Amino acid sequence: MSRGYVSLLGFLLFFFGFMSLTLGLVQLKISFLSFIDAPGRTFGLVVKLLMVFGGMIILYWSKMDREP
């Protein structure tokens, strides 16, 4: 996978996780992510936080220089 695709994946993961958390503050949901909240609100919060931090980690990893 090229760095561009990995960066895009990380950005989308971060963006949708962050927007889902932000919209959740005003009781709105992104429709295609509503299955995350089905098991419970706490589970949904943890998954969304993992999406945000996982997206940041993937973005950082994709921008790192891998050559020694």
Residue 51 to residue 65: CA distance in whole angstroms: 24
* pLDDT tens digit sequence for 6-37: 999 999 999 999 999 999 999 898 899 889 98
8: containing domain: 3-63
Do you know the residue count of the chain? 68
The domain tally of the chain equals 1
Q: Please indicate, yes or no, if residue 68 is contained in any of the structural domains.
A: no
Asked whether residue 7 is assigned to any structural domain, the reply reads yes
Mean pLDDT of 40-62: 95
Average pLDDT value for residue range 37-42: 92
Residue 46 is assigned to a structural domain of this protein? yes
- The predicted model gives 50-58 an average pLDDT of 96
17 domain residue, yes or no: yes
CB proximity list for 22: less than 8 A, separation 6 or greater: none
Residue 16 in domain: yes
DSSP string, 22-54: HHHTTT---GGGGGGGSS-HHHHHHHHHHHHHH
What pLDDT sits at residue 68?
67
Query: pTM for the whole thing?
Result: 0.87
